[in-house]
Amino acid sequence: MAKPQTSKPRSEKASSLEGSTWRGFILLTAILVGVFFYTNIWKTSLLTATKEESIDPKDYDSRAKRVLRSTPLIDGHNDFPFLLRQQLQSKIYDHDFEAEKLASHTDFQKMKDGMMGGQFWSVYVPCPADLVPGADLHDPHRHVPDLNEPNWAVRDTLEQIDLTKRLVAQYPKLLEFCTDPSCVRRTHEEGKVASMIGIEGGHQVGNSLGALRLLFETGARYVTLTHNCDNVFGTSWVSVDQATGRDAGLTKFGQAFVREMNRLGILIDLSHVSPGTMRDVLLIAKAPVIFSHSGAYGVEPHGRNVPDEVLKSLKHNGGVVMVPAVSISMNAAHPEEATVEDVIDHILHIADIAGWEHVGLGSDFDGTTYIVKGLEDVSQWPNLITRLLARGHVTDQQAELLVGGNLLRVWDEVERAAKESQEGGKLPSEESWEDRIWEVENTDVPGLFPEEL
């Protein structure tokens, strides 16, 4: 006889239990999904309200601050490390820069007031004496620098990099050393200033692609192709013959330099180069370039500014021109009258010719005493954005591109191009300048190859 079943078979019981568990699970999931969507819709509408509705469009000051909170303001060029080298012999530990108010364009309180998100610190070392500025490259009697002759530019550049990294490490509450764009975005969210290194002149890499690669390893993330002197890579703006407009542009070895920078993923900076060098680089560059501190020639015909035809070709390259606060290149005829409004004129001209995707900011603070009124130091960045928005036809989104959105996009693209190049098997370049002399200092060593029989 079968035992009366007082309970359901085990399997049935289990399936009934599973059924109620599933029902519970589905109900709970529905509640959670509902809560999730409700809170997100609420959050989104709140954000939209905060972003779009709660600020009077004519309240330019509040809009400027909102722009600087949402996007890191990245200044392309600041020479503060050069002041530390010249005036403190690179000894920074005797000072408390967190507490000290400095007379320079840059100090920590000014950076906080300026709502800065990122800074490319220039590790500038002047051109060696033999790289004379203004040499006429077509003069057969011109002084030709001996490229085989060593100089101290690479040592001094390494010291400047060391100094900058020590400064950043000493003040971790304000500064963070960054070598990629994601670090800049993260650091800005944490309320600190992302600190990057830019090398201002090809002479600082000692004419060597090997040295370039190792400087990249130290964390340097841009090299200006020339400073105010020609070098083995190309022609400086100073060397363009004012009378004839003769401009030798990029050299053959300079082409190898550009290709190697693209392979490495280091930003190519075209501030200080001649228009011919700009054009030549833009023809071969495989990634967007930057002009770390240059204005618009169409507004002020000064040799340090970028001609309109180059601005037009930037659209195809994707690069960005970062406008400085330097009075002599903003208004060469009357630098003493130059103001933040001149800087805005340059910004709007570049946006007009190349597009809002191709303009940025690169002050040159602490690299010169010729600075415009209304943007006298790093604390004045919000004033620039406020004045820009007050022109009346600039959107917050355009201001966000200007302050840092464009530079971050350029840097992302430079990294992507380098990754593709390296994954495609492109090896480090072994090229050198023409006529390089390879010293043979000791012949009493084994030969590499068996003698041919």
The residues annotated as belonging to the active site are 77, 79, 200, 227, 272, 293, 364
Q: What is the 3-state secondary structure (H, E, C) of the chain?
A: CCCCCCCCCHHHHHHHHHHHHHHHHHHHHHHHHHHHHHHHHHHHHHHHHHHHHCCCCCCHHHHHHHHHHHCCCEEEEECHHHHHHHHHCCCCCCCCCCCCCCCCCCCHHHHHHCCCCEEEEECCCCCCCCCCCCCCCCCCCCCCCCCCCCCCHHHHHHHHHHHHHHHHHHCCCCEEECCCHHHHHHHHHCCCEEEEEEECCHHHHCCCHHHHHHHHHCCEEEEECCCCCCCCCECEHHHCCCCCCCCCCECHHHHHHHHHHHHHCCEEECCCECHHHHHHHHHHCCCCCEECCCCECCCCCCCCCECHHHHHHHHHHCCEEEECCEHHHHCCCCHHHCEHHHHHHHHHHHHHHCCHHHEEECCCECCCCCECECCCCHHHHHHHHHHHHHCCCCCHHHHHHHHHHHHHHHHHHHHHHHHHHHHCCCCCCCCCCCCCCCCCCCCCCCCCCCCCC
